[in-house]
A and B are shown apart, each in its own frame.
Chain A
Amino acid sequence: MKAIAQVALLSLICMPALAAGQDTQPETVVNEDRNVIMGARTDVPPFIWRDKKSQKYRGFFWDICVEALVRSDRPFDTVPISAGQRSDLLSKGSYCTNEDENYDSCTAEIGTVDLLCDPTTVNLKRMQTFTEIDVDQTDEGLHRFVFSPILYLANGSYFQLGYPRRVYREKLAKELERRCVQFPELDPVFCDKRKNPTGLEWLRRPDKSLFGKKPSINWKTACDAILSAMTTDLALPDSTEDMKRKVWPPQIWPEPDPVEPEFEIWGYLDGSTIGPSVVKAAELAPSSVGICTKAFKSHTLATEAFCNGEIYRYFGDVDLVRAAIDAYRDNTDNDCPADETRSSRGTYEPYALVLSNENSGFPEDFTLALYSMFTDGTIAQMFNGRFGERRQSQYLETLFRINSIPTGDVNPEE
């Protein structure tokens, strides 16, 4: 009997979570004039994404959003938000409902949301933008966005290909060497041929002054050439020349290998907070290695490029990058030679939700629901459900503790 009672109790506790997972559109009592519109990202696992088969949302943040809405007693409608639409929402306060169209040339309806359920990094610039949106708006009665409490701390770092830079270079070289004709800027990087020494030079060969020097390359133009050569549609030109040196004349003096300019291409998600840091790091990199940066439209594209060996490092919030690579591995048969050792340390990326205060009292109700979820351990349970195999970092654990504010009851035991 006792066991049955325990099971019943357990299922009662789990009820809200189960309801959330089923993506019900509750039509319970409406105590406001309209439903809350929740913008849900479709493509950022493990935080929130839409399952391709069942068209249902999943993820850690989805669990939190739904539970908090239920707790604050708000009926809601869900609208899908893509990466581009999110970027518009954050900078302009609204988005074009047709995700294929640009915001400025939007022919479809311009929409907005009351809750953006998305791992958005909180920073001062974004907060600043929110205040400016309010000032600038004249028509349409637009509202002010605010950030919820910080829900999660992410690491901004990178995954790197699992082989040395030299190998990476050689992989790219197979194709790029032959494109030197089409992209002359590639010449110093890939097509710098060894010159056979002349008679006098040949005799003076051990003379150090004749040894090859490291080529100095204007990496800005070279990077442009590399990136466009990699994505070009031009047909490969027929290559005729053999780059290898012949047995005759034999080499009798030690000669340094022709110094091959080394470079890496760093990819990141367009519009992510890590992007500017990546670009800055590329500029400050030591001159021995050229760094090219490339922004990708989505994690899927970036992952594909990374796993195909087109970019050497893939920058982003580590959890997102990892999930994207795992998805790539699951969806295709290809392995992805990723080295994630360096990703254990990263930049500070505090995540929060974006709330609109147009719907009066909504942010307050929602925040209350969030804190209550922290305090009663619901969010910790949800975390374990989604990240079960990974331990929380020291700082994330601290955040969860900080957010578990006291209940304030006079007699908490009762």
Chain B
Amino acid sequence: MSTGGMHDIVALIFGVGIIIAFSHERFNRISYETGKRLDRLVLFLTPDKLRARRQVTYAYFIYTLSLIILYLILCAYAEVLLPLIGGQSLLPEIGASTLPTEASTSTAPLSDASSEPTTGFAPMGTSAVEFWIESLKPAVSSEPADTNSGINIAPEVSMGLALIMVGLAPSIKSLVRVDEWLRMFAHRVAGIPTWVIDTSDALRSNAKVLRFFTDGEKDFSSEYLISEPERKRVMDLHVKAKPFLGNLDDFILNVEVILVASAWFLDEKLRITGAGDKNRFEEIENELRRRKNELFSAANNPDLTYEDWDAMATAADELASDFCVLIALYDEQDVIQPYDQRPAPTESQRRARARLRQFVDVLYKNKTEPLMQRRGNNLALFWTLAIVLIWTIAWAVLWPGRAEFNLTWGLLNSDTYLRIRLYSVNAFNTYCIATIVAITIRWVRMTSVAEDGQRKWENMRYPNHWTRWLPQALSLFLIAFLVSTALNIAVQIWLTETRTTEAEAWRMTFEEFMTSIRWRFEYMGPISFRAACLAVLVIVLLDARQRLWTDAGRCEQRQRKGHPSSDRLKSNDKTWRELSFKDSLIWVAIGVLMMLIITPVMRYLSFLAASQDYPRPFDHIDAGLMIWATLYTVILAALVMFCLSEVLTRRAFYRAPKETADGMSSDVVGAEK
């Protein structure tokens, strides 16, 4: 297939590289319907500024992975899919490019002997004896392993598709829509932009902390690093606006927020740690500064009408809101670190920092739980993927995989790299995809809140009622199963039937195609079934750990505040503290037991599917393959369950933040005195 130009595999890898290189840029395109809240700032806010990089990693991973899978599927099935979505022009023309010359079409008989039956003598060329025994020699051995080095994806197609997908080539409409949908989904997973809106709302609700102006004698302005003229300006405004504004108090609070925030961050009176990261927000800061100046110069006009004051109140409200967005972003991006333990240089700085901590504390009250959830998700995902891939590669390289592979194909020897390739592609399509899908679903459901205020995700380990967890478990299992089966079938069909232009798949009728799909589904389905079971088990473990660490955290907070905890909180707190090595072993036992039951059954189903065309009894080789498959899945399940259980228990989830929380609270208390 390499027609003088780039080799097709190189082109495909190059295409994947292009996708990866551009995926970050595309991920940062705005996908959300820009609500009013961010309208004013949207020019300056790219998605990666809206969330800290570590929070976006998972979503970015999902997005890039989906793009690559989409790209590979489009490449593999270019001939079928591209015309459907309107990309014909990309493909080289199908069919013969030239008409063959007459000589090559008809296999003209070179001698009188070959085509037409003749009678009478025709010599053999060799001696009779040689001629007769020549055909006894064994034919060239037929290896089932593919000898086709090419992947039969035209370089034009793979490169062209890559450029289309990153938007450098004229795009295909439906592809753009899919890309938008994927990005929206990824952003939603990452909490973009909902998170920043929620956070700024929370900050505004706590705005009274920044109140420095009082009618009375007390003056806190120096605590906020507010200069005297500014304080005067507020007093002045207070007097001026009084006759015009009904909600004077709100207006003054907004002005206070604007003044404090601009003093701290725009004028950089507050010493903050992450000054370098702050540069990323320079544009938005300049914009806010411009609007602030505009607001106050308008206020200096002596002849202000009632309508002017109203407009000014609105402007101040918006500006204060935007400052809250900015502070939320600072906090997210670690520009400000309120709980920084380093000592403040001066007393005023220390007090200002204490005020800031007080202000953003509202974020930290509920911050640990979602943070831990996300961390649990990431850990579960990456540990599972790593264990699956490492174990699979080890299996493929070592003798068990060799024996299983050779037994399957009836070989005495096979190429190690071929085994690694086939096994890891298969493992990725089953175990990895099933886990990714399951964890993503869980995460999306968990972050979205239903109308009744309850989380849409039901904890699978400590469920309320079977009507809540059963549909959830079933749909989770089904989606993971179907996605992984679909990918597996796509890869299988591509590997076996579409790699040559004269391959079967292109000539099949729809019925034949459906039969082929059905057969593959029956054969590959059981493999994905095992993977989906493992994925569900991983989710149950994740839920179990999450409930324990959340409850333990809540219990401790309540204790600190002197509230009584419920029995459930107490017992879960106790369980969490007493989690031990033995507990991990119990999870291992559950996983092993599940696989011990499921794998032989599923392997038998695969056997039934494989033998339905040529019925044959279950023989010793099928039994041997069943043993290998069971061994593989049992050890895989044991490794995954053990490592996950350990990592979700030992990687300080609640315990570490607990201590800093203590320190901080005492600090705040001290500041308030």
Contact = CB atoms under 8 A, between A and B. Distances in A.
Interface of A: 152-156, 158, 206, 208, 211, 245-254, 256, 264, 277-278, 280-281, 284-286, 288-289, 291, 318-319, 342, 344-350, 387, 390-397, 399
A319 B117 CA distance: 11
B131 interface: yes
A305 to B, nearest CB: 19
Top 3 A-B pairs, shortest CB-CB distance = A396-B120, A250-B623, A153-B121
Contacts of B131: 345
Contacts of B410: 254
Contacts of A264: 136
A237 B455 CA distance: 78
Given A211-B412, A254-B412, A281-B129, A387 B620 contact: no
A344 B399 CA distance: 51
B419 to A, nearest CB: 13
B135 A345 contact: no
B45 to A, nearest CB: 60
Contacts of B111: 394
Interface stretch (B55-63, B83-91, B226-234, B401-409): B401-409
20 contacts: A155-B120, A155-B122, A211-B412, A245-B619, A247-B619, A250-B624, A250-B626, A251-B624, A252-B403, A254-B407, A264-B136, A281-B129, A286-B137, A345-B123, A345-B125, A346-B128, A390-B118, A391-B119, A395-B123, A396-B120
A22 to B, nearest CB: 26
Contacts of A348: 121, 123
Nearest to A288: B138
A352 B123 CA distance: 19
Nearest to B400: A252
A346 B124 contact: yes
A291 B626 CA distance: 42
Contacts of B407: 251-254
B113 interface: yes
Nearest to A347: B128
A264 B618 CA distance: 33
Contacts of A350: 121
Contact of B122 (A211, A278, A345): A345
A281 B132 contact: yes
A393 B129 contact: no
Q: How large is the interface on B (under 10, 10 to 19, 20 to 34, 35 or more residues)?
A: 35 or more
B628 interface: yes
Contacts of A399: 120
Given A251-B621, A251-B624, A390-B118, A344 B113 contact: yes
SS class, residues of chain A in contact with chain B: mixed
B116 interface: yes
Nearest to B408: A254
A391 B122 CA distance: 12
Question: Which of B402, B403, B620 has the most A CB atoms < 10 Å from its CB?
Answer: B620
A341 B604 CA distance: 45
Interface in B388-422: 399, 402-403, 406-407, 410-412
B619 A349 contact: no
B122 A284 contact: no
B133 A285 contact: yes
Given A158-B132, A281-B132, A346-B122, 7 more contacts: A253-B624, A284-B129, A288-B136, A348-B123, A350-B121, A387-B119, A391-B112
B121 to A, nearest CB: 4
A342 B134 CA distance: 11
Interface string B466-491: 00000000000000000000000000
Given A246-B620, A393-B113, A394-B112, A254 B137 contact: no
B128 to A, nearest CB: 5
B627 interface: yes
Given A286-B133, A346-B124, A319 B118 contact: no
A344 B136 contact: no
B114 interface: yes
Contact of A248 (B112, B117, B402, B620): B620
Contacts of B619: 245, 247
Interface string B624-648: 1011100000000000000000000
Contact of B121 (A281, A346, A387): A346
Interface in B514-571: none
A399 B122 CA distance: 12
Nearest to B136: A289
B137 A393 contact: no
Contacts of A246: 620
B521 to A, nearest CB: 27
A266 B339 CA distance: 96
B620 A156 contact: no
Nearest to B125: A345
Contact of A249 (B136, B412, B620, B628): B620
A289 B399 CA distance: 34
Contacts of A249: 620
A399 B120 CA distance: 10
Question: Which of B132, B402, B410, B627 has the most A CB atoms < 10 Å from its CB?
Answer: B132
A150 B618 CA distance: 65
B466 to A, nearest CB: 40
A392 B122 CA distance: 10
B111 to A, nearest CB: 8
Contacts of A158: 132
Nearest to A264: B136
B121 A251 contact: no
Given A211-B412, A247-B618, A254-B412, A392 B136 contact: no
Nearest to A155: B121
Contacts of B113: 344-345, 393
Contact of A281 (B122, B128, B402): B128
Contacts of B618: 247
A393 B112 contact: yes
B620 A245 contact: yes
B584 to A, nearest CB: 30
A344 B624 contact: no
Contact of A390 (B119, B121, B123): B119
Contacts of B138: 288
Contact of A391 (B118, B622, B624, B626): B118
B120 A344 contact: no
A152 B628 CA distance: 67
A350 B125 CA distance: 17
B629 to A, nearest CB: 11
Contacts of A393: 112-113, 118-122
